[in-house]
Amino acid sequence: MTACSESCQYSAVRSGVVRNEDPLLNEQSLQAANAFLRVASSTIQVGDFLDQAPADIGRAAGLPNPLAVARAVRALAARRRLEVEDGRYRLIDARALDPGEPESVPRTPRRRRARRKGQAPRAAEATGERRATYADLGRAVVERIIELGRESGEAVSAADHLRRDAKDNKAARIEAEQRASRLFERVKELETKLEMAEANLRTVLAAARGRGATATPTDNEMEALLRILKTPASEGEGSAEVQAGEAAGE
């Protein structure tokens, strides 16, 4: 039972955990602390820093292991025999520890436990601030996806409308090209008729000049000339010269 108690106390001293159940030292710990103090004060004066490492002093004092050295140093510091300054130990009192001597230096208080997960959001809500959560992130992502889907649908609808307009414009262009082609053929046909009428008129005038420059065309000649001008191109091609000859003979 004693060995277990001492081991637990050594562990507590080394890890920095304070135990308040038994602030008094047992006999073995008291002897270890006084042995450490005796060796440490044999080579220095009160007020000086230790001239050796605590482990070396502990070996010289016959302490069995580093845990015992740590516990002895902790006991001496708690009873104002040693003082820690800038990571070094200063001897401030060379008197040996008395049995049952209480600690004069308060122990380091225990650290507060970390807040639970549910407490931080409540404190933030109480101060009017709210931390973003994964739910907020998911909600924002879903809203953005819906917005992008709406924009995509509008873009597809606009593309379909433009495609229909392009199709209608293409059909109107084809129809206009066909109409222009028909009109071009009609113009060519009319030009051909005009050329034929001009040729027939020249023939009639040439025949009329053959009778005399002062001769005036008769009514029959005028009617033949009008018939030639009114005759379609398909019929006038074969009979133009015949009609011109008849007009000239008359």
More confident residue, 30 or 104: 30
Lowest mean pLDDT among 49-53, 114-118, 218-222: 114-118
User: Is the pLDDT at 109 greater than 70, yes or no?
Assistant: no
Q: Tokens 């414009």 map to which residue?
A: 169
Average pLDDT for 216-222: 65
What confidence category does residue 3 fall into, taking pLDDT thresholds of 50, 70 and 90?
very low
| pLDDT one-digit tens code per residue, 119-165 | 555 544 545 567 788 888 898 999 999 999 999 999 999 999 999 99
What confidence category does residue 53 fall into, taking pLDDT thresholds of 50, 70 and 90?
confident
Is pTM beyond 0.85? Reply is no
- List phi, psi (to 5°) of 84: -90, 130
Closest CA to 39 of 66, 68, 60, 53: 60
pLDDT of residue 243: 53
User: Is the pLDDT at 176 greater than 50, yes or no?
Assistant: yes
pLDDT of residue 81: 86
What confidence category does residue 14 fall into, taking pLDDT thresholds of 50, 70 and 90?
very low
User: Is the pLDDT at 180 greater than 90, yes or no?
Assistant: yes
User: Is the pLDDT at 216 greater than 90, yes or no?
Assistant: no
CA distance 65 to 7: 11
User: Is the pLDDT at 19 greater than 50, yes or no?
Assistant: no
Count Cβ atoms below 10 Å from residue 26 Cβ, excluding itself. 14
Average pLDDT for 165-189: 92
Amino acid sitting at position 32 = A
Strand partners, 84: 89
Lowest mean pLDDT among 3-7, 104-108, 163-167: 3-7
More confident residue, 86 or 208: 86
pLDDT of residue 169: 92
pLDDT of residue 140: 92
DSSP letters for 234-246: HHHHHHHHHHHHH
pLDDT of residue 23: 60
User: Is the pLDDT at 4 greater than 50, yes or no?
Assistant: no
- Cβ 36 vs Cβ 69: under 8 Å: yes
- Cβ 34 vs Cβ 96: under 8 Å: yes
Mean pLDDT of the chain: 75
CA distance 56 to 69: 10
* H-helix segments, 211-232: 219-230
Lowest mean pLDDT among 22-26, 173-177, 203-207, 209-213: 209-213
